[in-house]
Amino acid sequence: LEDIGNLYMKKGKPKIALTYLQEGINNSRKAGLRDTEVSLLDEEGIAYQEEGQQVKALTIYKDAFEEAKKYKQPEEEAKALINIASVLQLQNSDKSLTDLKEAMKIARKIKQPQLEARIFEAMAGVYRQEQNYREAMDALNEQHRLLDSLLQADTAKDIAALDSSYALETSYEKIGNLQQTNKHTESQLQIGWVILLLVLVILVLLWLYLRKVKRLNEELKA
């Protein structure tokens, strides 16, 4: 339901998205599923924000924040604070920055650089609004630094994956070569057994022949 709601949001149809998101929220309020409610609430808030219902969106984001705290979901707490700050940005930029700084503490505590980068981007927007361009530039620089480090980490993972893939292919190639060698060895062994059997047959026939000759010689001598 959340995924369907997201798709309708991407299609620019927040009203339809809300019907699916609200159904998902109702389902998540069942026993044992409450911890799935937070992300749905965040999505619902975004839909209301898209609709221009800022007050409604703010209320939902606050509910999401409380639910995240209740079910010990720090990442969702930080996301809810970012969303709250986005609504408050035009109304109360100081409170918006306070919420973003609180979200930053959470993101650093749980070591989520991608979330930190998102927070720095939001902070830059608030600083620009306040015409505090130095702070805005610093926040953007921090965001770029984090995104670069994430990109480098992803690149390192890709290189490691390629190395692993190459090692795997090399291993498969070695296995294939060993299998071919094994087949060749087995064929040679089978040929060896056939030759040995033929030699044995020839020796038996030769022995029988010599035995017969000896007997005939003895008869001739007699």
Q: pLDDT tens across 102-124, in order?
A: 999 999 999 988 899 999 999 99
Q: For 8-24, how does the pLDDT look when each residue is reduced to its tens digit (9 = 90+)?
A: 988 988 889 888 888 88
User: What separation in angstroms does the CA of 27 have from each of 1, 21, 92, 140?
Assistant: 10, 10, 34, 39
Q: For 34-53, how does the pLDDT look when each residue is reduced to its tens digit (9 = 90+)?
A: 667 788 888 888 888 888 88
pLDDT of res. 207: 92
- Mean of pLDDT values over 41-69: 87
Residue 55 pLDDT > 80, yes or no? yes
pLDDT of res. 34: 61
The overall average pLDDT reported for the chain is 86
Return the HEC string of the chain: CHHHHHHHHHCCCHHHHHHHHHHHHHHHCCCCCHHHHHHHHHHHHHHHHHCCCHHHHHHHHHHHHHHHHHCCCHHHHHHHHHHHHHHHCCCCHHHHHHHHHHHHHHHHHCCCHHHHHHHHHHHHHHHHHCCCHHHHHHHHHHHHHHHHHHHHHHHHHHHHHHHHHHHHHHHHHHHHHHHHHHHHHHHHHHHHHHHHHHHHHHHHHHHHHHHHHHHHHHHHHC
Please tell me the least confidently modeled range out of 64-78, 156-170, 191-205: 156-170
- Mean of pLDDT values over 188-207: 91
Residue 157 pLDDT > 80, yes or no? no
- Best CA proximity match to 83, nearest among 116, 108, 66, 58: 58
pLDDT of res. 200: 93
pLDDT of res. 25: 85
CA distance 118 to 75: 12
